[in-house]
Amino acid sequence: MKLYGAPMPAPNPRRVRIFLAEKGVTVPEVHIDLMKREHKSEAHLTRNSLGQVPTLELDDGTKISETVSICRYVEALYPDPALFGVTPVEQALADMWVRRVEIVLMDPVRNYWRHAHPRTAGLLTQFKDFGHSNAARYADAQHWLDAELTTGPFIAGEDFTMADICALTTVDFATLIGLPLDPMLSNLAAWHARVTARPSAAA
């Protein structure tokens, strides 16, 4: 296997690296230079027609994109420790929380990055009012997640899952682009400290 990704601060390749680190699995990573637009090159478009990273290339040439899909594949190969749950209920809850994190937490960060941040101004037509409106959406999302983090140490309950990986990479990227965590949200702050302390967070 070979992973086509990008180093920090790119959040999506980091999700896969954290997942692999939790599994204790090493996969060679080829860095695609996003600032040089290598992800839009003809060579990379043959791997991923959307021109995105990461993409996992299997030994037989099969290419898998989308971070959760890549991690699902790795989970099937290396089931321990389970990062998508074990029982049907755990698996359903993990899926539910991954989806919620992607929609509620990630979407406003993505929209702010695309439409309000100066680093992306030359890449697309920005709608700045819309972009800046997502800062409030992200603040609301933090309050929502803080309230949800009263039932267990991790987002989906007692065990660290893919939902925590998705959320960690999102909030770290958000902080980097000017959307910090609200320090008054104690549950969210405690969760962030807990997951950041895991060795895999350095991946």
Same-domain status, 104 and 182: yes
In contact, 163 and 94? CB cutoff 8 Å: yes
Q: Among 130, 24, 115, 146, which residue's Cα sits nearest to residue 78?
A: 24
Same-domain status, 64 and 135: no
DSSP H helical ranges for 24-161? 42-45, 67-77, 88-100, 107-116, 128-148
Same-domain status, 69 and 105: no
Kindly tell me if the per-residue pLDDT of 185 is higher than 90. yes
The residue range of the domain holding 131 is: 88-202
Cα-based distances in Å from 67 to 53, 93, 133, 181, 186: 9, 18, 27, 24, 29
Same-domain status, 39 and 66: yes
Instruction: Residue 44: give its domain's CATH number.
Output: 3.40.30.10
**pLDDT tens figures, 62-102:** 999 999 999 999 999 999 999 999 999 999 999 999 999 99
Which of 56, 77, 98 is the last residue in one of the domains?
Answer: 77
**pLDDT tens figures, 174-184:** 999 999 999 99
Report pLDDT for 123. Answer: 85
Which of 54, 77, 100 is the last residue in one of the domains?
Answer: 77
Mean pLDDT of the chain: 96
Domain for residue 83, yes or no? Answer: no
Provide the domain count of the chain: 2
What percent of the chain has pLDDT above 90? 94
**pLDDT tens figures, 93-150:** 999 999 999 999 999 999 999 999 998 988 889 999 999 999 999 999 999 999 999 9
Same-domain status, 51 and 138: no
Instruction: Residue 109: give its domain's CATH number.
Output: 1.20.1050.10
In contact, 40 and 51? CB cutoff 8 Å: yes
Report pLDDT for 35. Answer: 83
Same-domain status, 25 and 95: no
